[in-house]
Chains A and B, each alone.
Chain A
Amino acid sequence: MAKLNFEFRKRLDAIIDGDHHNYCYQCGACVADCPAARYSPDFNPRQIMLLALLGQEEALIGENSPIWLCTNCYTCYERCPQDVRPIEVIIALKNIASGGKRAPGILEQIQKSVNEQGRTVAWSPLVDRRRKELGLEPVKPVPVEEIQKLLEE
C-alpha cells in the first residue's frame, strides 16, 4: 500500500478549488453521468478523487494519468453533494502537471498562442477576407503587451 503524500495534497490545496478534494466522501455520484467514464474504463472521477486524498502524485500527474481524458463537461460539479467540484480538482491537478512540464503539448501551444497573440486562434489574412465577405470589420487587435505583463510572475 502506497504511503499518504501530504506534501502533494498541500500543493493541490494551494490551487483555486484544489482544496475541495478534501470534502470527498467517495459516494460515486460523479461517476454515473460522467461521459468520460461511460466511454473509457480508464476514467473514473471518484477514483481520481481517492488518489487525490491519498496524494498519489505519480498516478495523478504521471505519464499514464487518466486526468487528460476528462471532457470538461461539468456534470460531476453538478451532481456532487459535497461541493467537491471534481472537474475543478482535476484542472488543479493539470496545473501541477503543467508546472512540472508533464502536460500534453497542446497546453504549451495554447499558452504560447495567448502569450504571443492574445488569442487561441491564429490570425491570418484569410480570416479578414472571410469577415469582409460577411460584411464584418477586420478582427480587432489585442494589446499583447498588456497580456504579456500579466503573464509575468
Chain B
Amino acid sequence: MRYAPFYGCMISLKYPQFEAAVRKTCPALGMELVDLEGFSCCPDPIYFKAGDKMIWLTLAARNLCIAEEAGLDIITMCSGCTATLSEAHHILEEDPGLRDEVNIRLKKVGKEYKGEISVRHIVTVLRDDVGLEKVAASVTRPLDDLVVAIHYGCHLLKPSKIMRVDDPNQPTILEDLTRLVGATPVVHSENLLCCGKACISDEMPAEMTRDILDGIAQVNADCMGLICPTCFDEFDLGQLRLSRRFHRKFNIPVVYYFQLLGLAQGLSPRDMGLHMHKIKVHPLLEKLGLPTA
C-alpha cells in the first residue's frame, strides 16, 4: 500500500503535529508514504478559489500531475486540500473541454494531466484499504474510558458525490475509527454544524463555534475529536478568542484523530505534539495515565 501524502500548507506549516501523527502511525498500518517533490498549496478552496476558479483548477491539476508522474494515488489529511484536489479531479474527469484548457496552461510548465490516479482522504484509506481490523490490531494501549465528541467538518463529507467518504447526513466513519482506539465516541447536538471559519465575518463563526462547544459540553466529553486542521484552528486557538468575546471560559481539548491513534499505538503525547495545542490536553492525559509534560 504505497501512497503520495499531500499534507498541505495548514498541516505542514501551522500544525505539523498532525503530520507527525500521520507519519508515525501509518507504518503500523502497513501504509508506505512516499514523499514527492514539487507540490504547492492545493490551492486553497476558499479564498484562492474565490479569486479565479480557472487558475485554482490549473494549480490543483499541477499537483495531481506530480502524483501521476510517480504513479501513486494522493492521500489527503486536510479537509480543505481534499475539497480542492477531489473536486479538481472530478472536474477534469467530467469535463473534457476544461481538461483541454487546463492542459494548454500546464504545457507552459511541461506538464499534462492524464487522469491516471485518484485522490483519497486518509480516513477512507484506513477503512477501505487497510481495513478496520488491521487498524484495531495496531492498538497496543487502548484509550479506555476516553469520551470523544466527534466533529466532522464540512469538506470531508460534502459534496458527497465528489468526496465519496460517507453519508453526509448520518456519517459514522469517525465514530467507527474512534471505537477502534478503545475510546467512546459521542454524538453532540451540533455535530454537523459548520465551524464557520470560511465566512468573512467575525460574529457568525464565533456564534457557530460557541454553539458547537456548548453542544459538546452537554455530552460530558473529555475532548473533541476531529480530522480537519481548519476546524482545529477554529476550535483550539478559537476557544481563547471565544472566551474573550463571550466573557466565559471555553476549555475543551481538541484532538486530531491520528493523535488518538498514535497514543493508542503506544506513542507518547510528546511524539504526537499534544503539548503544542493552545487548549491544554492535561485532563485527558491524566485520565489515560499518560505523562503530561
Contacts and interface: CB of A to CB of B under 8 A. Distances in A.
Interface of A: 15-17, 35-36, 39-40, 68-75, 77-78, 85, 91-92, 94-95, 98-99, 103-104, 106-111, 114, 118-123, 127, 130-131, 134-136, 139-140, 142-143, 146-147, 149-152
B287 to A, nearest CB: 24
A74 B53 contact: no
B115 to A, nearest CB: 18
A131 B15 CA distance: 9
- With a 10 A CB-CB cut-off, give which of B44, B197, B200 has the most chain A CB atoms: B200
Given A39-B196, A75-B194, 16 more contacts: A16-B91, A35-B194, A71-B199, A74-B155, A77-B159, A98-B50, A103-B50, A103-B51, A104-B200, A108-B51, A121-B9, A130-B276, A134-B16, A134-B271, A149-B109, A150-B55
Interface stretch (B33-41, B136-144, B248-256): B33-41
Contacts of A109: 47
Interface in B188-223: 193-194, 196-201, 204-205, 207-208
A127 B9 CA distance: 11
A15 B55 CA distance: 11
Nearest to A113: B41
Contacts of B35: 140
Interface of B: 9-10, 12-14, 16-17, 19-20, 23-24, 35, 37-41, 43-55, 57-59, 62, 91, 98, 105-106, 108-109, 154-155, 158-160, 168, 193-194, 196-201, 204-205, 207-208, 271, 273, 276
A104 B200 CA distance: 8
Q: State the main secondary structure of chain B at its contact with A.
A: helix
- With a 10 A CB-CB cut-off, give which of B13, B16, B48, B198 has the most chain A CB atoms: B13
B40 A95 contact: no
Given A69-B204, A118-B41, A120-B43, A139 B12 contact: yes
Contact of B59 (A39, A99, A114): A114
Contact of B53 (A68, A95, A114, A119): A95
B51 A72 contact: no
20 contacts: A15-B53, A16-B53, A35-B196, A35-B208, A70-B198, A71-B154, A71-B197, A74-B155, A78-B159, A91-B50, A95-B52, A114-B41, A118-B40, A121-B9, A127-B16, A135-B271, A139-B12, A140-B39, A142-B38, A143-B40
Contacts of B47: 106-107, 109-111, 120
B41 A72 contact: no
Nearest to A17: B53
Contacts of A106: 47, 200
A119 B98 contact: no
A135 B59 contact: no
Contact of A120 (B20, B44, B196, B273): B44
Contacts of B50: 91, 94-95, 98, 103, 107
A143 B65 CA distance: 14
B154 A74 contact: yes
B109 A111 contact: no
Contacts of B201: 40, 68-69
B40 A114 contact: yes
A16 B48 CA distance: 14
Given A39-B207, A121-B13, A150-B109, A78 B43 contact: no
- With a 10 A CB-CB cut-off, give which of B23, B204, B273, B276 has the most chain A CB atoms: B204
Nearest to B98: A16
Given A72-B45, A114-B40, A119 B9 contact: yes
B17 A149 contact: no
Given A39-B207, A69-B204, A75 B48 contact: no
Contact of B40 (A92, A135, A142, A152): A142
Contacts of B51: 94-95, 98, 103, 107-108, 110-111
B158 A78 contact: yes
A78 to B, nearest CB: 5
* 5 closest A-B pairs by CB: A74-B158, A94-B50, A73-B194, A134-B20, A72-B198
